[in-house]
Chains A and B, each alone.
Chain A
Amino acid sequence: MALSDDLRDLYQQVILDHSKSPRNHGQLTDCVHVHGDNPTCGDEIDMYVKFNDEGGIADIKFDGQGCAISQASASMMTIKVKGSRRDKAMAMLKDFRSVVTGEGSVQDEDALGELILLEGVQKFPQRVKCAMLGWRALEQAMQESAKES
Protein backbone atom coordinates (compact mmCIF):
# COMPACT_ATOMS: atom_id res chain seq x y z
CA MET A 1 0.00 0.00 0.00
CA ALA A 2 1.30 3.44 -0.86
CA LEU A 3 2.32 5.72 1.96
CA SER A 4 -0.38 8.24 1.07
CA ASP A 5 -2.97 5.51 1.73
CA ASP A 6 -1.26 4.75 5.03
CA LEU A 7 -1.53 8.45 5.84
CA ARG A 8 -5.26 8.47 5.10
CA ASP A 9 -5.55 5.41 7.36
CA LEU A 10 -3.67 7.21 10.10
CA TYR A 11 -5.82 10.31 9.86
CA GLN A 12 -9.26 8.88 9.28
CA GLN A 13 -12.18 11.27 9.55
CA VAL A 14 -13.23 9.86 12.93
CA ILE A 15 -9.72 10.47 14.29
CA LEU A 16 -9.54 14.02 12.95
CA ASP A 17 -13.02 14.66 14.36
CA HIS A 18 -11.97 13.49 17.84
CA SER A 19 -8.81 15.59 17.69
CA LYS A 20 -10.73 18.73 16.74
CA SER A 21 -13.61 18.15 19.18
CA PRO A 22 -12.23 15.94 21.95
CA ARG A 23 -14.85 14.30 24.17
CA ASN A 24 -14.59 14.39 27.97
CA HIS A 25 -12.33 17.40 27.62
CA GLY A 26 -11.78 19.45 30.75
CA GLN A 27 -10.89 18.94 34.37
CA LEU A 28 -12.33 17.19 37.44
CA THR A 29 -11.88 18.01 41.11
CA ASP A 30 -11.47 15.50 43.97
CA CYS A 31 -9.85 13.00 41.68
CA VAL A 32 -6.52 11.44 40.82
CA HIS A 33 -4.65 13.86 38.56
CA VAL A 34 -1.75 12.70 36.43
CA HIS A 35 0.37 14.86 34.14
CA GLY A 36 1.92 13.01 31.23
CA ASP A 37 4.23 14.24 28.52
CA ASN A 38 6.39 13.15 25.62
CA PRO A 39 9.59 15.05 26.37
CA THR A 40 10.99 14.58 22.89
CA CYS A 41 8.04 16.24 21.17
CA GLY A 42 6.56 18.42 23.90
CA ASP A 43 3.08 16.87 23.85
CA GLU A 44 1.37 17.18 27.21
CA ILE A 45 -1.71 15.69 28.77
CA ASP A 46 -3.48 16.12 32.10
CA MET A 47 -5.67 13.18 33.03
CA TYR A 48 -8.32 13.51 35.76
CA VAL A 49 -9.80 10.23 36.99
CA LYS A 50 -12.42 9.58 39.65
CA PHE A 51 -12.43 6.01 40.93
CA ASN A 52 -15.35 4.25 42.62
CA ASP A 53 -14.95 2.16 45.76
CA GLU A 54 -14.12 -0.95 43.75
CA GLY A 55 -11.35 0.85 41.86
CA GLY A 56 -13.45 1.17 38.71
CA ILE A 57 -13.43 4.38 36.65
CA ALA A 58 -16.40 6.50 37.70
CA ASP A 59 -15.49 9.59 35.70
CA ILE A 60 -12.63 10.77 33.54
CA LYS A 61 -11.63 13.98 31.77
CA PHE A 62 -8.47 15.21 30.15
CA ASP A 63 -6.89 18.31 28.72
CA GLY A 64 -3.54 19.25 27.29
CA GLN A 65 -2.01 19.86 23.92
CA GLY A 66 -0.61 17.59 21.33
CA CYS A 67 -0.89 16.14 17.87
CA ALA A 68 -4.09 14.75 16.35
CA ILE A 69 -3.12 11.20 17.24
CA SER A 70 -2.48 11.87 20.94
CA GLN A 71 -5.62 13.96 21.31
CA ALA A 72 -7.90 11.58 19.39
CA SER A 73 -6.57 8.54 21.21
CA ALA A 74 -7.16 10.15 24.62
CA SER A 75 -10.64 11.32 23.60
CA MET A 76 -11.71 7.89 22.34
CA MET A 77 -10.15 6.24 25.38
CA THR A 78 -12.17 8.29 27.85
CA ILE A 79 -15.42 7.26 26.16
CA LYS A 80 -14.50 3.59 26.35
CA VAL A 81 -13.08 3.39 29.86
CA LYS A 82 -15.63 5.62 31.60
CA GLY A 83 -17.74 3.32 33.81
CA SER A 84 -15.37 0.39 33.33
CA ARG A 85 -14.22 -1.96 36.02
CA ARG A 86 -10.53 -1.72 36.82
CA ASP A 87 -9.58 -5.11 35.33
CA LYS A 88 -11.56 -4.30 32.19
CA ALA A 89 -9.73 -0.97 31.77
CA MET A 90 -6.38 -2.72 32.27
CA ALA A 91 -7.30 -5.32 29.64
CA MET A 92 -8.27 -2.55 27.19
CA LEU A 93 -4.96 -0.81 27.82
CA LYS A 94 -3.10 -4.01 27.00
CA ASP A 95 -5.20 -4.66 23.90
CA PHE A 96 -4.84 -1.08 22.68
CA ARG A 97 -1.07 -1.27 23.02
CA SER A 98 -1.17 -4.37 20.80
CA VAL A 99 -3.33 -2.52 18.27
CA VAL A 100 -0.92 0.38 17.84
CA THR A 101 2.33 -1.56 18.05
CA GLY A 102 1.22 -4.66 16.17
CA GLU A 103 2.87 -6.74 18.87
CA GLY A 104 0.97 -9.35 20.88
CA SER A 105 -2.63 -10.36 20.24
CA VAL A 106 -5.82 -8.46 20.90
CA GLN A 107 -8.07 -10.37 23.31
CA ASP A 108 -11.27 -8.37 23.05
CA GLU A 109 -11.53 -6.34 19.87
CA ASP A 110 -15.18 -5.42 20.45
CA ALA A 111 -14.39 -3.72 23.74
CA LEU A 112 -12.07 -1.29 21.94
CA GLY A 113 -14.75 -0.21 19.45
CA GLU A 114 -13.60 2.68 17.25
CA LEU A 115 -10.22 2.75 19.01
CA ILE A 116 -9.36 -0.01 16.50
CA LEU A 117 -9.18 2.78 13.90
CA LEU A 118 -5.85 3.80 15.44
CA GLU A 119 -4.38 0.60 14.00
CA GLY A 120 -2.94 2.85 11.28
CA VAL A 121 -0.30 3.96 13.81
CA GLN A 122 1.47 0.61 13.26
CA LYS A 123 2.85 1.97 10.00
CA PHE A 124 4.28 4.99 11.83
CA PRO A 125 6.26 3.52 14.75
CA GLN A 126 7.47 6.91 15.94
CA ARG A 127 3.83 7.85 16.60
CA VAL A 128 3.15 4.98 19.02
CA LYS A 129 4.15 7.22 21.91
CA CYS A 130 1.58 9.78 20.72
CA ALA A 131 -1.20 7.19 20.65
CA MET A 132 -0.17 5.88 24.08
CA LEU A 133 0.21 9.27 25.82
CA GLY A 134 -3.28 9.33 27.37
CA TRP A 135 -3.22 5.63 28.12
CA ARG A 136 0.06 5.86 29.99
CA ALA A 137 -1.43 8.66 32.10
CA LEU A 138 -4.49 6.49 32.81
CA GLU A 139 -2.25 3.58 33.76
CA GLN A 140 -0.37 5.79 36.18
CA ALA A 141 -3.63 7.08 37.66
CA MET A 142 -4.81 3.51 38.23
CA GLN A 143 -1.51 2.64 39.90
CA GLU A 144 -1.78 5.68 42.16
CA SER A 145 -5.36 4.88 43.14
CA ALA A 146 -4.39 1.27 43.91
CA LYS A 147 -1.62 2.57 46.19
CA GLU A 148 -4.00 4.89 48.02
CA SER A 149 -6.66 2.26 48.69
Chain B
Amino acid sequence: MTDLSHLRVDFPILHQQVHGEPLVYFDNAASSQKPRQVIAELTRYYELDNANVHRGLYELSNRATDSFEAARKKVACFIGAGSADEVIFTRGTTESINLVAQVWAAQFLKAGDVILYTGMEHHSNLVPWQLAARRTGAVLKHIPVLDDGTLDLTLLDLLLTEQAKLFACVHVSNSLGTINPVRELCAKARALGVTTLIDGAQAAGHLPVNVRDIGCDFYAFSGHKMCAPTGIGVLYGKAEVLAKMEPWHGGGEMIESVTLEASTYKAAPHRFEAGTPDIAGVIGLGAAIDYLESVGIEKIHQHGQELTAYAMQCLAELPGIRLLGPQGDRASLAAFALACAHPHDLVEFANTHGLALRGGHHCTQPLMKRFKVPGTSRASFYFYNTAAEVDRMMDILHRAVTFFS
Protein backbone atom coordinates (compact mmCIF):
# COMPACT_ATOMS: atom_id res chain seq x y z
CA MET B 1 0.00 0.00 0.00
CA THR B 2 1.19 3.53 -0.80
CA ASP B 3 2.65 4.86 2.43
CA LEU B 4 2.65 8.62 2.99
CA SER B 5 2.88 8.41 6.76
CA HIS B 6 6.17 10.35 6.70
CA LEU B 7 4.04 13.43 5.93
CA ARG B 8 2.24 13.20 9.29
CA VAL B 9 5.05 15.20 10.84
CA ASP B 10 3.79 18.17 8.80
CA PHE B 11 0.42 18.07 10.59
CA PRO B 12 0.85 19.15 14.21
CA ILE B 13 -2.82 18.59 15.03
CA LEU B 14 -2.61 14.86 14.38
CA HIS B 15 -0.20 14.29 17.23
CA GLN B 16 -2.53 14.57 20.19
CA GLN B 17 -4.52 12.41 22.54
CA VAL B 18 -8.29 12.74 22.57
CA HIS B 19 -10.05 11.32 25.62
CA GLY B 20 -6.85 9.54 26.56
CA GLU B 21 -6.30 7.83 23.21
CA PRO B 22 -4.42 8.87 20.07
CA LEU B 23 -6.56 11.00 17.76
CA VAL B 24 -7.74 9.26 14.60
CA TYR B 25 -9.15 11.93 12.30
CA PHE B 26 -11.48 10.36 9.73
CA ASP B 27 -13.68 13.34 8.87
CA ASN B 28 -11.64 14.67 5.99
CA ALA B 29 -14.62 14.92 3.64
CA ALA B 30 -15.97 17.58 6.00
CA SER B 31 -12.65 19.40 6.37
CA SER B 32 -9.01 18.47 6.02
CA GLN B 33 -6.19 19.29 8.44
CA LYS B 34 -3.59 21.92 7.61
CA PRO B 35 0.15 21.30 7.22
CA ARG B 36 2.54 23.57 9.12
CA GLN B 37 3.76 24.91 5.74
CA VAL B 38 0.33 26.48 5.16
CA ILE B 39 0.05 27.74 8.73
CA ALA B 40 3.56 29.23 8.44
CA GLU B 41 2.65 31.01 5.20
CA LEU B 42 -0.38 32.61 6.88
CA THR B 43 1.83 33.79 9.73
CA ARG B 44 4.46 35.06 7.31
CA TYR B 45 1.87 37.02 5.37
CA TYR B 46 0.38 38.62 8.49
CA GLU B 47 3.77 39.35 10.05
CA LEU B 48 5.49 40.73 6.97
CA ASP B 49 3.18 41.62 4.06
CA ASN B 50 -0.29 42.39 5.40
CA ALA B 51 -2.05 45.18 3.46
CA ASN B 52 -5.04 45.56 1.19
CA VAL B 53 -4.63 44.37 -2.38
CA HIS B 54 -4.90 46.11 -5.74
CA ARG B 55 -5.11 49.64 -4.42
CA GLY B 56 -2.09 50.64 -2.37
CA LEU B 57 0.89 52.25 -4.09
CA TYR B 58 3.30 51.17 -1.43
CA GLU B 59 5.56 48.21 -0.81
CA LEU B 60 3.34 46.12 1.50
CA SER B 61 0.32 46.42 -0.75
CA ASN B 62 2.44 45.52 -3.77
CA ARG B 63 3.73 42.43 -2.01
CA ALA B 64 0.25 41.38 -0.83
CA THR B 65 -1.12 41.92 -4.36
CA ASP B 66 1.71 39.93 -5.93
CA SER B 67 1.18 36.97 -3.56
CA PHE B 68 -2.59 37.17 -4.05
CA GLU B 69 -2.42 37.15 -7.84
CA ALA B 70 0.35 34.54 -7.82
CA ALA B 71 -2.02 32.27 -5.91
CA ARG B 72 -4.65 32.81 -8.61
CA LYS B 73 -2.15 31.60 -11.21
CA LYS B 74 -1.33 28.57 -9.04
CA VAL B 75 -5.03 27.69 -8.85
CA ALA B 76 -5.38 28.08 -12.62
CA CYS B 77 -2.47 25.67 -13.20
CA PHE B 78 -3.72 23.30 -10.50
CA ILE B 79 -7.08 22.80 -12.23
CA GLY B 80 -5.86 23.23 -15.81
CA ALA B 81 -7.75 26.47 -16.47
CA GLY B 82 -6.93 28.34 -19.66
CA SER B 83 -6.05 31.51 -17.79
CA ALA B 84 -5.91 32.96 -14.27
CA ASP B 85 -8.79 35.25 -15.30
CA GLU B 86 -11.05 32.21 -15.19
CA VAL B 87 -10.44 31.79 -11.45
CA ILE B 88 -12.83 33.65 -9.13
CA PHE B 89 -12.19 33.57 -5.41
CA THR B 90 -15.23 32.87 -3.22
CA ARG B 91 -15.86 31.73 0.35
CA GLY B 92 -16.19 28.13 -0.76
CA THR B 93 -18.08 25.68 -2.95
CA THR B 94 -21.45 26.82 -1.63
CA GLU B 95 -20.82 30.45 -2.48
CA SER B 96 -19.39 29.50 -5.89
CA ILE B 97 -22.55 27.59 -6.80
CA ASN B 98 -24.78 30.36 -5.47
CA LEU B 99 -22.96 32.89 -7.62
CA VAL B 100 -23.85 30.91 -10.75
CA ALA B 101 -27.35 30.06 -9.54
CA GLN B 102 -28.02 33.76 -9.00
CA VAL B 103 -26.16 35.65 -11.70
CA TRP B 104 -26.08 33.19 -14.57
CA ALA B 105 -29.53 31.78 -13.82
CA ALA B 106 -31.15 35.23 -13.66
CA GLN B 107 -29.74 36.11 -17.08
CA PHE B 108 -30.13 32.88 -18.97
CA LEU B 109 -32.99 30.85 -17.46
CA LYS B 110 -36.62 31.41 -18.31
CA ALA B 111 -39.88 29.74 -17.31
CA GLY B 112 -40.06 26.16 -18.53
CA ASP B 113 -36.30 25.70 -18.98
CA VAL B 114 -34.97 22.57 -17.31
CA ILE B 115 -32.32 22.54 -14.61
CA LEU B 116 -30.95 19.01 -14.44
CA TYR B 117 -29.04 17.72 -11.44
CA THR B 118 -28.55 14.32 -9.86
CA GLY B 119 -29.99 12.42 -6.93
CA MET B 120 -26.63 12.42 -5.14
CA GLU B 121 -26.04 16.16 -4.90
CA HIS B 122 -25.00 17.85 -1.67
CA HIS B 123 -27.59 20.33 -0.43
CA SER B 124 -25.28 23.09 -1.69
CA ASN B 125 -25.82 21.90 -5.26
CA LEU B 126 -29.59 21.45 -4.81
CA VAL B 127 -30.93 24.36 -2.81
CA PRO B 128 -29.37 27.17 -4.92
CA TRP B 129 -31.01 25.65 -8.03
CA GLN B 130 -34.33 25.25 -6.25
CA LEU B 131 -34.16 28.95 -5.37
CA ALA B 132 -33.21 29.76 -8.98
CA ALA B 133 -36.14 27.70 -10.25
CA ARG B 134 -38.48 29.58 -7.93
CA ARG B 135 -37.23 32.91 -9.25
CA THR B 136 -37.18 32.02 -12.94
CA GLY B 137 -39.94 29.44 -13.33
CA ALA B 138 -37.42 26.86 -14.50
CA VAL B 139 -38.24 23.18 -13.97
CA LEU B 140 -36.09 20.85 -11.83
CA LYS B 141 -35.25 17.32 -12.95
CA HIS B 142 -32.74 14.83 -11.65
CA ILE B 143 -30.84 11.75 -12.74
CA PRO B 144 -31.71 8.98 -10.25
CA VAL B 145 -29.11 6.98 -8.33
CA LEU B 146 -28.87 3.19 -8.75
CA ASP B 147 -28.57 0.73 -5.85
CA ASP B 148 -24.81 0.49 -6.39
CA GLY B 149 -24.43 4.24 -5.82
CA THR B 150 -23.81 5.20 -9.45
CA LEU B 151 -26.02 7.39 -11.65
CA ASP B 152 -28.71 5.72 -13.73
CA LEU B 153 -27.27 6.73 -17.08
CA THR B 154 -29.86 4.69 -19.00
CA LEU B 155 -32.15 7.69 -18.42
CA LEU B 156 -29.58 10.21 -19.60
CA ASP B 157 -30.94 10.55 -23.15
CA LEU B 158 -34.39 11.18 -21.73
CA LEU B 159 -33.27 13.80 -19.20
CA LEU B 160 -30.32 15.56 -20.78
CA THR B 161 -31.99 17.18 -23.77
CA GLU B 162 -32.02 20.59 -25.40
CA GLN B 163 -34.72 21.66 -22.92
CA ALA B 164 -32.10 21.43 -20.21
CA LYS B 165 -30.34 24.76 -19.95
CA LEU B 166 -28.14 23.87 -17.03
CA PHE B 167 -26.66 20.60 -15.82
CA ALA B 168 -25.24 20.56 -12.28
CA CYS B 169 -23.41 17.46 -11.11
CA VAL B 170 -21.16 16.46 -8.26
CA HIS B 171 -17.72 15.17 -9.30
CA VAL B 172 -17.26 12.96 -6.20
CA SER B 173 -20.18 12.14 -3.90
CA ASN B 174 -19.51 13.07 -0.26
CA SER B 175 -22.00 10.43 0.91
CA LEU B 176 -21.25 7.51 -1.38
CA GLY B 177 -17.72 8.04 -2.65
CA THR B 178 -18.92 7.67 -6.23
CA ILE B 179 -16.68 9.28 -8.86
CA ASN B 180 -19.02 10.46 -11.59
CA PRO B 181 -18.04 10.32 -15.30
CA VAL B 182 -18.12 14.11 -15.52
CA ARG B 183 -16.05 14.27 -18.71
CA GLU B 184 -18.55 12.12 -20.63
CA LEU B 185 -21.52 13.92 -19.09
CA CYS B 186 -20.14 17.35 -19.96
CA ALA B 187 -19.35 16.25 -23.52
CA LYS B 188 -22.93 15.20 -24.03
CA ALA B 189 -24.23 18.42 -22.43
CA ARG B 190 -21.92 20.53 -24.56
CA ALA B 191 -23.14 18.86 -27.75
CA LEU B 192 -26.67 19.94 -26.80
CA GLY B 193 -25.65 23.46 -25.83
CA VAL B 194 -26.35 22.83 -22.12
CA THR B 195 -24.26 24.85 -19.65
CA THR B 196 -22.52 22.68 -17.05
CA LEU B 197 -21.46 23.16 -13.43
CA ILE B 198 -19.41 20.55 -11.60
CA ASP B 199 -19.27 20.52 -7.80
CA GLY B 200 -15.67 19.55 -7.12
CA ALA B 201 -15.68 19.94 -3.33
CA GLN B 202 -14.62 16.31 -2.74
CA ALA B 203 -12.47 16.01 -5.85
CA ALA B 204 -10.05 18.96 -5.85
CA GLY B 205 -6.91 18.06 -3.94
CA HIS B 206 -7.91 14.40 -3.88
CA LEU B 207 -7.68 13.38 -7.51
CA PRO B 208 -6.31 15.03 -10.64
CA VAL B 209 -8.71 17.71 -11.89
CA ASN B 210 -8.41 19.34 -15.29
CA VAL B 211 -11.34 21.59 -16.11
CA ARG B 212 -10.50 21.82 -19.79
CA ASP B 213 -10.31 18.05 -20.04
CA ILE B 214 -13.62 17.74 -18.19
CA GLY B 215 -15.05 20.38 -20.51
CA CYS B 216 -17.32 22.01 -17.93
CA ASP B 217 -18.40 25.65 -17.99
CA PHE B 218 -18.12 26.04 -14.21
CA TYR B 219 -16.21 24.11 -11.57
CA ALA B 220 -16.61 24.88 -7.86
CA PHE B 221 -14.45 23.80 -4.93
CA SER B 222 -13.36 24.72 -1.39
CA GLY B 223 -9.89 25.31 -0.03
CA HIS B 224 -10.43 23.87 3.44
CA LYS B 225 -10.98 20.33 2.17
CA MET B 226 -7.54 20.40 0.53
CA CYS B 227 -5.21 21.67 3.27
CA ALA B 228 -6.03 25.39 2.85
CA PRO B 229 -7.69 27.60 5.47
CA THR B 230 -11.46 27.74 5.91
CA GLY B 231 -13.34 30.58 4.21
CA ILE B 232 -11.68 30.42 0.82
CA GLY B 233 -12.94 28.70 -2.29
CA VAL B 234 -12.91 28.91 -6.04
CA LEU B 235 -15.32 29.24 -8.91
CA TYR B 236 -13.75 28.39 -12.24
CA GLY B 237 -15.73 29.78 -15.15
CA LYS B 238 -14.93 29.41 -18.84
CA ALA B 239 -13.77 32.81 -20.14
CA GLU B 240 -16.48 33.18 -22.78
CA VAL B 241 -19.20 32.28 -20.25
CA LEU B 242 -17.91 34.71 -17.61
CA ALA B 243 -17.64 37.45 -20.22
CA LYS B 244 -21.40 37.40 -20.70
CA MET B 245 -22.25 37.48 -17.02
CA GLU B 246 -23.47 40.49 -15.07
CA PRO B 247 -21.75 41.37 -11.77
CA TRP B 248 -22.92 39.74 -8.55
CA HIS B 249 -22.17 41.81 -5.45
CA GLY B 250 -21.53 45.49 -6.05
CA GLY B 251 -18.84 47.41 -4.23
CA GLY B 252 -15.21 48.35 -4.35
CA GLU B 253 -12.72 46.32 -6.36
CA MET B 254 -15.23 45.23 -9.03
CA ILE B 255 -15.73 48.63 -10.73
CA GLU B 256 -13.98 50.61 -13.42
CA SER B 257 -15.62 53.94 -12.70
CA VAL B 258 -18.47 55.09 -10.52
CA THR B 259 -20.67 58.18 -10.69
CA LEU B 260 -23.62 59.01 -8.49
CA GLU B 261 -25.87 57.68 -11.22
CA ALA B 262 -24.18 54.61 -12.62
CA SER B 263 -21.03 52.51 -12.77
CA THR B 264 -18.99 50.47 -15.18
CA TYR B 265 -17.49 47.18 -14.14
CA LYS B 266 -14.22 45.35 -14.47
CA ALA B 267 -13.92 42.16 -16.45
CA ALA B 268 -13.73 38.72 -14.79
CA PRO B 269 -12.46 37.67 -12.35
CA HIS B 270 -12.48 40.99 -10.45
CA ARG B 271 -16.01 41.75 -11.62
CA PHE B 272 -17.16 38.99 -9.26
CA GLU B 273 -14.93 39.90 -6.31
CA ALA B 274 -16.47 42.96 -4.68
CA GLY B 275 -14.91 44.24 -1.47
CA THR B 276 -11.69 43.28 0.27
CA PRO B 277 -11.15 39.59 -0.41
CA ASP B 278 -9.89 36.93 2.01
CA ILE B 279 -6.29 37.79 1.13
CA ALA B 280 -4.68 35.52 3.72
CA GLY B 281 -7.04 32.72 2.69
CA VAL B 282 -6.04 33.05 -0.95
CA ILE B 283 -2.34 33.06 -0.06
CA GLY B 284 -2.95 30.05 2.20
CA LEU B 285 -4.69 28.28 -0.68
CA GLY B 286 -1.64 28.94 -2.83
CA ALA B 287 0.59 27.43 -0.15
CA ALA B 288 -1.73 24.41 0.11
CA ILE B 289 -1.48 23.84 -3.65
CA ASP B 290 2.34 24.04 -3.43
CA TYR B 291 2.22 21.47 -0.65
CA LEU B 292 -0.15 19.08 -2.46
CA GLU B 293 1.87 19.32 -5.66
CA SER B 294 5.05 18.51 -3.75
CA VAL B 295 3.33 15.32 -2.55
CA GLY B 296 1.78 14.63 -5.95
CA ILE B 297 -1.96 14.49 -6.65
CA GLU B 298 -1.66 11.13 -8.43
CA LYS B 299 0.03 9.69 -5.37
CA ILE B 300 -2.62 11.16 -3.07
CA HIS B 301 -5.35 9.64 -5.23
CA GLN B 302 -3.67 6.26 -5.31
CA HIS B 303 -3.18 6.28 -1.53
CA GLY B 304 -6.84 7.22 -1.02
CA GLN B 305 -8.08 4.42 -3.24
CA GLU B 306 -5.85 1.80 -1.61
CA LEU B 307 -6.68 2.88 1.94
CA THR B 308 -10.40 2.96 1.14
CA ALA B 309 -10.29 -0.49 -0.45
CA TYR B 310 -8.60 -1.77 2.71
CA ALA B 311 -11.16 -0.06 4.96
CA MET B 312 -14.09 -1.41 2.92
CA GLN B 313 -12.65 -4.90 3.14
CA CYS B 314 -12.28 -4.62 6.94
CA LEU B 315 -15.71 -3.02 7.44
CA ALA B 316 -17.43 -5.77 5.46
CA GLU B 317 -16.58 -8.16 8.30
CA LEU B 318 -18.59 -6.21 10.87
CA PRO B 319 -21.82 -8.01 11.80
CA GLY B 320 -24.96 -6.26 10.56
CA ILE B 321 -23.13 -3.76 8.34
CA ARG B 322 -24.47 -2.26 5.13
CA LEU B 323 -21.87 -0.52 2.99
CA LEU B 324 -23.07 2.22 0.68
CA GLY B 325 -21.62 3.33 -2.63
CA PRO B 326 -19.85 1.59 -5.48
CA GLN B 327 -17.61 -1.38 -4.84
CA GLY B 328 -14.97 -0.68 -7.44
CA ASP B 329 -13.47 2.67 -8.39
CA ARG B 330 -14.34 5.13 -5.64
CA ALA B 331 -13.10 8.12 -3.72
CA SER B 332 -11.45 8.00 -0.31
CA LEU B 333 -14.40 7.50 1.98
CA ALA B 334 -16.46 4.62 3.34
CA ALA B 335 -20.09 5.15 4.36
CA PHE B 336 -22.03 2.50 6.23
CA ALA B 337 -25.03 1.72 8.38
CA LEU B 338 -24.91 -0.72 11.30
CA ALA B 339 -27.98 -2.67 12.32
CA CYS B 340 -27.21 -2.41 16.04
CA ALA B 341 -26.52 1.32 16.37
CA HIS B 342 -27.81 4.58 14.94
CA PRO B 343 -24.99 6.68 13.40
CA HIS B 344 -25.15 9.23 16.23
CA ASP B 345 -24.76 6.60 18.89
CA LEU B 346 -21.91 4.99 17.00
CA VAL B 347 -20.11 8.29 16.41
CA GLU B 348 -20.54 9.21 20.08
CA PHE B 349 -18.98 5.88 21.06
CA ALA B 350 -16.11 6.39 18.61
CA ASN B 351 -15.44 9.87 19.98
CA THR B 352 -14.87 8.53 23.48
CA HIS B 353 -11.99 6.53 21.96
CA GLY B 354 -10.46 9.47 20.10
CA LEU B 355 -11.90 8.47 16.72
CA ALA B 356 -13.48 11.30 14.72
CA LEU B 357 -16.17 9.88 12.41
CA ARG B 358 -19.11 11.69 10.88
CA GLY B 359 -22.65 10.47 11.44
CA GLY B 360 -25.88 11.81 9.98
CA HIS B 361 -27.30 12.71 6.61
CA HIS B 362 -24.12 14.46 5.37
CA CYS B 363 -26.20 17.25 3.79
CA THR B 364 -27.66 14.75 1.32
CA GLN B 365 -31.14 14.14 2.72
CA PRO B 366 -32.68 13.04 -0.62
CA LEU B 367 -29.94 10.41 -0.95
CA MET B 368 -30.58 9.08 2.57
CA LYS B 369 -34.25 8.77 1.65
CA ARG B 370 -33.28 7.01 -1.59
CA PHE B 371 -31.31 4.39 0.36
CA LYS B 372 -33.94 4.24 3.13
CA VAL B 373 -31.52 5.03 5.95
CA PRO B 374 -31.95 7.78 8.56
CA GLY B 375 -28.30 8.56 8.13
CA THR B 376 -24.96 6.82 7.81
CA SER B 377 -21.64 6.73 9.57
CA ARG B 378 -18.77 7.87 7.41
CA ALA B 379 -15.02 7.45 7.60
CA SER B 380 -13.28 9.75 5.12
CA PHE B 381 -9.55 9.68 4.55
CA TYR B 382 -6.74 11.90 3.36
CA PHE B 383 -3.14 11.13 2.50
CA TYR B 384 -1.93 11.46 6.10
CA ASN B 385 -4.19 8.63 7.27
CA THR B 386 -2.76 5.14 7.61
CA ALA B 387 -3.77 1.49 7.52
CA ALA B 388 -2.86 1.31 11.22
CA GLU B 389 -5.51 3.96 11.88
CA VAL B 390 -8.05 1.90 9.94
CA ASP B 391 -7.12 -1.04 12.17
CA ARG B 392 -7.75 1.12 15.24
CA MET B 393 -11.11 2.18 13.83
CA MET B 394 -12.05 -1.46 13.34
CA ASP B 395 -11.06 -2.30 16.90
CA ILE B 396 -13.27 0.54 18.18
CA LEU B 397 -16.17 -0.42 15.90
CA HIS B 398 -16.03 -4.05 17.04
CA ARG B 399 -16.23 -2.80 20.62
CA ALA B 400 -19.17 -0.58 19.66
CA VAL B 401 -21.02 -3.54 18.17
CA THR B 402 -20.57 -5.45 21.45
CA PHE B 403 -21.63 -2.38 23.46
CA PHE B 404 -24.83 -1.71 21.53
CA SER B 405 -25.88 -5.33 20.80
Contacts and interface: CB of A to CB of B under 8 A. Distances in A.
Interface residues of B, number: 19
Interface in B326-382: 341-345, 348-349, 352, 359-361, 365, 368, 374-375
Contacts, number: 48
A42 B352 contact: no
Interface in A1-57: 2-4, 6-7, 10-11, 16, 40-44
A66 B374 CA distance: 7
A60 interface: no
Nearest to A64: B374
A67 B365 contact: no
B374 A42 contact: yes
Contact of B360 (A11, A40, A68, A124): A40
Contacts of B361: 41-42
A137 interface: no
B342 A68 contact: yes
A127 interface: yes
Interface in A121-139: 124, 127, 130
B396 to A, nearest CB: 12
A105 interface: no
The interface size bin for chain A is 20 to 34
Nearest to B359: A41
B398 interface: no
A3 B345 contact: no
B344 A11 contact: no
Contact of A66 (B19, B20, B342): B342
Contact of B368 (A3, A10, A16, A42): A42
B108 interface: no
A65 interface: yes
Contacts of A92: none
Contacts of B352: 3-4, 6-7
Contacts of A2: 20
A10 B348 contact: yes
B46 interface: no
A124 B348 CA distance: 9
A43 B374 CA distance: 7
A55 B352 CA distance: 44
A132 B323 CA distance: 30
A7 B368 contact: no
Contacts of A118: none
Contacts of A3: 19-20, 352
Contacts of A69: 344-345
B310 interface: no
Contacts of A40: 360
Contacts of B365: 42
A43 B342 CA distance: 10
Contact of B348 (A43, A44, A127): A127
Interface string B127-139: 0000000000000
B404 A7 contact: no
Contact of B345 (A42, A65, A67): A67
A42 to B, nearest CB: 4
B404 A67 contact: no
Contacts of B349: 7
Given A41-B359, A41-B361, 6 more contacts: A3-B20, A7-B352, A10-B348, A43-B374, A66-B374, A68-B341
18 contacts: A3-B20, A3-B352, A4-B19, A6-B352, A7-B349, A7-B352, A11-B403, A11-B404, A16-B404, A42-B360, A42-B375, A43-B374, A65-B374, A66-B344, A67-B344, A68-B345, A69-B344, A124-B348
